[in-house]
């Protein structure tokens, strides 16, 4: 008896160490016999085996993450290395190290030289470098740029300074170019207002808009300064260098010392010229068209000829609209997806108790379609959320069944007649909208018509969503 | 074209053949890296590095299990990523829990897995990830290769550059650690994944055998 009391803990430890192997069937037959004999006797060992098996099972159930992308190599990959001999590898490394050291020395020498020039010139022209230096550090886009300007500001006189300032201008011009697409994009929406006039202009004016600005950027600054400056702002006095940098400080060129007076104006002129171009191109009626349907208004202007009917169709359909049902988010954070399934992309998220306009449901009732606008679903204006997380004021089955593209599959039998809905007191807003859909024909006209704009969805998984462009009233160029 | 032929072609510098190998192994490699590193971006980098290195060094592969050979490169790539991450720990903990682009279980068709079931699986995965991250690297990679990837001990030994005895002991310790970790979190695990405490009757536990 006492002997047994000693052996059980020992055996527990012995078995415990081997349970993992036992699970995998990796024990020798003698060891397995020992373990199994002990398992018969010891409740503790059985529990241990049990929990270990549970653990392994859980780990095995771990879902695999989705592949973020394909990891195939580009076809231009270099051929696999031959098995290289050691001296060759070390020789290469030696060369690399030597080159690095040389470069570092070169850099160090250069920096030292610059510093000495700076300090030498500082007393000679005190106000300018003092004002310019800090702003250089703050505004210069890259170390290379600061290096260049430093060189110039410290040592070089006026004539050589100008080219260097031009090399810096790309940064401001990019800013001004970024402005242009924003002002121009509503431009295609202007077409539906007068579709009979001229189809070609939308594409070409778009090009013309951007083209002059791109062309303008490299041109010598002086020419533009002459014609734009007066309208833009009071011309900076060229004879008063110290006052100039602060005045132009905002234009990312305030770092320029006094001599670059003309050059510092480049960024402002560029942005001004672009601003002038934009209003010319965008006709005055743009705001009118953008206002009724803002989602379509932001569409990319690439397919200009086919777009006008879309916007017009959507505009007209929007006034009819689908039947909407009230829903409230019943989860802390609820993802909105592009389609009814976890395979679809998340296009947004909702918070608890947020109100949603439910438009329909998926075939399996697991998902609800809601009105949701984002960049990813301009075509349908729909988002999908898990039905379990939305509190509805009507039975789920009373919603129309939609497919992933928002097209109504079956007309819901509407088991809840419109006259019944008023009885729940908390849904007063529902009655006017639901009374509008007694007809058997799908009322979601705007959903079925939307696809005219583009041939495919942005997501490739919607391979069923290939649609032929059916322009109704456009002139194809 | 079988694997041997693809490998031979890749050794002659045929990239398309190698890419066929990539396609058949990338899911395995990425999943391994993902579980070992606990994070998608680093796993992506490790996977890409591993395949680039595998191609570069494919002439040094001289038969045997290609999978084990490849996983050895993956193991090293993961280790490199881990060291890089330790140098600059930028990965957020939230990235572990929220997968922005969620797995596509079946390609193409939208099967309707109810979101809450999916959420439970993801929750479980998050806990397992946490447990894995608390393991020493050697034990973690051994456990991932064995219980997530389903490798044989011999293959794990090749992939981790050790012998089978070491693999066994690492695996045993890793599993015990994971068990303790998961038992501690029992109450937090999704209901369906909890260990059903058996009180008296040993055979009634509804646990599917692996």
**Together in a domain, A230 and A372:** no
pLDDT higher at A350 or B107? A350
CB atoms within 10 A of CB B142: 30
Q: Do B183 and A51 touch (CB under 8 A)?
A: yes
Is A94 a domain residue? no
How many angstroms separate the Cα of A273 from the Cα of each of A41, A205, A234? Answer: 91, 16, 16
| Contact residues for A122 (Cβ-Cβ < 8 A; gap 6+) | A129, A130
**Together in a domain, A224 and A116:** yes
User: What is the CATH number assigned to the segment(s) B1-88?
Assistant: 1.10.1740.10
Is A232 a domain residue? yes
Find, among A404, A438, A446, A402, the residue nearest to A419 by Cα: A438
Task: Give Cα A381 to chain centroid, integer Å.
Answer: 18
State pLDDT tens for residues A281-318: 333 343 333 333 433 333 444 444 444 444 444 444 44
| Confidence (pLDDT) at B173 | 92
**Together in a domain, A142 and A179:** yes
| Confidence (pLDDT) at B163 | 92
* Residue of B51, B112, B195 with shortest CB distance to A73: B51
For residue B49, pLDDT beyond 70: yes
Q: What 3-state DSSP class applies to A370?
A: strand
Is A7 a domain residue? yes
Is A68 a domain residue? no
**Together in a domain, A280 and A381:** no
A284 class by beta-carbon count within 10 Å (0-12 exposed, 13-18 middle, 19+ buried) = exposed
Tally the domains of chain A: 3
Q: Which residues of B touch A366 (CB under 8 A)?
A: 112-115
| Confidence (pLDDT) at B73 | 93
How many angstroms separate the Cα of A392 from the Cα of each of A277, A365, A426? Answer: 51, 13, 11
**Together in a domain, A188 and A282:** yes
**Together in a domain, A138 and A247:** yes
For residue A443, pLDDT beyond 60: no
* Residue of B60, B103, B110 with shortest CB distance to A340: B110
Token match 């570069």: residue? B56
**Together in a domain, A264 and A325:** no
CA distance B193 to B186: 9
CA distance A368 to B6: 47
Best of B119, B175, B182, B207 to disrupt the A interface by mutation (most A CBs within 10 Å)?
B175
| Contact residues for A169 (Cβ-Cβ < 8 A; gap 6+) | A217, A221, A266, A267, A270
**Together in a domain, A274 and A406:** no
Is A17 a domain residue? yes
| Confidence (pLDDT) at A372 | 84
* Residue of A60, A341, A345 with shortest CB distance to B147: A60
CA distance A197 to A308: 12
State pLDDT tens for residues B114-135: 777 777 778 888 888 889 989 9
**Chain A 13-42, CB below 8 Å of chain B: which residues?**
16-21, 23-24, 26
Is A460 a domain residue? no
- Percent with pLDDT over 70 in chain B: 79
DSSP-derived pairing of the beta strands A325-329 and A390-392: antiparallel
CB atoms within 10 A of CB A341: 25
Q: Would you call B53 an interface residue with chain A, using a CB distance cutoff of 8 Å?
A: no
**Chain A CA closest to residue B41:** A68
Show the beta-strand stretches assigned E in A270-377.
325-329, 333-337, 346-351, 355-361, 367-371
Q: Of A25-29, A88-92, B193-197, give the range with the top mean pLDDT.
A: A25-29
**Chain A 67-96, CB below 8 Å of chain B: which residues?**
67-83
Q: Which residues of B touch A57 (CB under 8 A)?
A: 207-208, 210
Give phi and psi for B93, each to the nearest 5. -70, -30
Best of B60, B110, B193 to disrupt the A interface by mutation (most A CBs within 10 Å)?
B110
Q: Do B58 and A339 touch (CB under 8 A)?
A: no
State pLDDT tens for residues A366-410: 888 898 887 767 777 888 888 888 888 888 888 888 877 777 776
**Together in a domain, A329 and A285:** no
CATH number of the domain residue A424 falls in: 2.30.30.40
| Domain B116-193: top CATH class | mainly alpha
- Nearest CA to CA, how far is B123 from chain A (Å)? 10
Q: Which residues of B touch A24 (CB under 8 A)?
A: 146, 153
Please, which residues bridge with residue A350 across strands? A334
**Together in a domain, A157 and A49:** no
Domain spans, chain B: 1-88, 116-193
Q: Which domain holds residue A354?
A: 319-440
Tokens at A49, concatenated: 């085996």
**Together in a domain, A367 and A267:** no
**Together in a domain, A251 and A380:** no
């Amino acid at each position: 008896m006492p002997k047994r009391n000693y052996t059980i803990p020992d055996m527990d430890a012995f078995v415990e160490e081997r349970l993992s192997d036992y699970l995998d069937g990796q024990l020798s037959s003698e060891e397995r016999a020992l373990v199994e004999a002990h398992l018969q006797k010891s409740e503790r060992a059985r529990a241990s085996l049990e929990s270990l098996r549970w653990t392994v099972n859980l780990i095995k159930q771990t879902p695999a993450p989705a592949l973020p992308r394909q990891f195939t190599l580009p076809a231009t990959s270099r051929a696999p290395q031959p098995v290289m001999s050691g001296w060759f590898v070390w020789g290469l490394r030696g060369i690399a190290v030597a080159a690095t050291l040389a470069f570092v020395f070169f850099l160090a020498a250069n920096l030292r030289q610059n510093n000495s020039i700076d300090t030498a010139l500082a007393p000679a022209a005190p106000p300018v470098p003092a004002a310019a230096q800090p702003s250089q550090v703050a505004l210069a886009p890259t170390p290379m740029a600061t290096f260049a300007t430093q060189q110039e500001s410290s040592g070089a006189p006026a004539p050589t300074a100008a080219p260097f300032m031009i090399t810096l201008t790309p940064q401001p011009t990019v800013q001004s170019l970024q402005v242009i697409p924003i002002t121009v994009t509503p431009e295609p929406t202007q077409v539906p207002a007068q579709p009979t006039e001229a189809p070609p202009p939308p594409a070409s004016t778009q090009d013309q808009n951007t083209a002059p600005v791109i062309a303008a950027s490299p041109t010598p600054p002086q020419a533009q300064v002459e014609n734009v400056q007066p309208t833009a702002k009071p011309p900076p006095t060229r004879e008063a260098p110290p006052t100039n940098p602060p005045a132009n400080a905002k234009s990312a060129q305030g770092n320029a010392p006094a001599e670059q007076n003309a050059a510092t104006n480049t960024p402002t002129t560029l942005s001004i010229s672009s601003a002038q171009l934009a209003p010319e191109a965008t006709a005055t009626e743009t705001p009118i068209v953008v206002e009724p349907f803002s989602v379509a208004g932001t569409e990319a202007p690439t397919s200009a000829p086919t777009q006008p009917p879309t916007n017009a169709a959507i505009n007209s359909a929007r006034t009819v609209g689908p039947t909407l049902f009230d829903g409230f988010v019943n989860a802390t954070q609820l993802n909105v997806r592009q389609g009814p399934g976890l395979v679809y992309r998340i296009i947004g998220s909702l918070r608890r108790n947020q109100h949603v306009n439910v438009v329909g449901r998926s075939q399996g009732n697991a998902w609800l379609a809601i009105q949701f606008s984002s960049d990813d679903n301009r075509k349908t204006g729909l988002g999908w959320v898990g039905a379990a997380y939305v509190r509805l004021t009507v039975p789920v089955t009373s919603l129309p069944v939609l497919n992933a593209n928002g097209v109504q599959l079956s007309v819901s039998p509407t088991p809840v007649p419109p006259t019944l809905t008023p009885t729940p007191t908390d849904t007063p807003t529902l009655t006017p909208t639901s009374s509008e859909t007694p007809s058997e024909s799908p009322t979601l006209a705007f959903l079925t018509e939307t696809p005219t704009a583009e041939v495919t969805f942005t997501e490739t998984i919607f391979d069923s969503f290939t649609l032929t462009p059916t322009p109704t009233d456009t002139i194809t160029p | 074209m079988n694997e041997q032929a693809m490998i031979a072609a890749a050794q002659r510098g045929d990239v398309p053949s190698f890419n066929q190998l990539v396609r058949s192994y990338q899911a395995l490699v990425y999943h391994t890296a993902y579980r070992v590193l606990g994070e998608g971006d680093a796993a992506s980098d490790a996977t890409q590095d591993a395949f680039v290195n595998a191609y570069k060094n494919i002439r040094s592969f001289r038969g045997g299990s290609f999978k084990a050979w490849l996983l050895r490169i993956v193991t090293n790539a993961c280790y490199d990523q881990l060291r890089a991450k330790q140098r600059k720990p930028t990965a957020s903990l939230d990235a572990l829990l929220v997968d922005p682009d969620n797995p596509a279980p079946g390609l193409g068709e939208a099967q309707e897995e109810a979101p809450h079931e999916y959420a439970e699986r993801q929750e479980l995965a998050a806990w397992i990830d946490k447990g894995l991250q608390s393991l020493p690297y050697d034990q973690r990679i051994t456990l991932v290769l064995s219980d997530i990837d389903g490798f044989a001990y011999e293959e794990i030994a090749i992939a981790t550059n050790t012998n089978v005895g070491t693999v066994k002991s690492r695996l045993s310790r890793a599993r015990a650690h994971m068990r303790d970790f998961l038992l501690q979190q029992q109450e937090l695990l999704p209901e369906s994944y909890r260990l059903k405490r058996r009180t008296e009757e040993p055979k009634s536990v509804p646990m599917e055998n692996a």
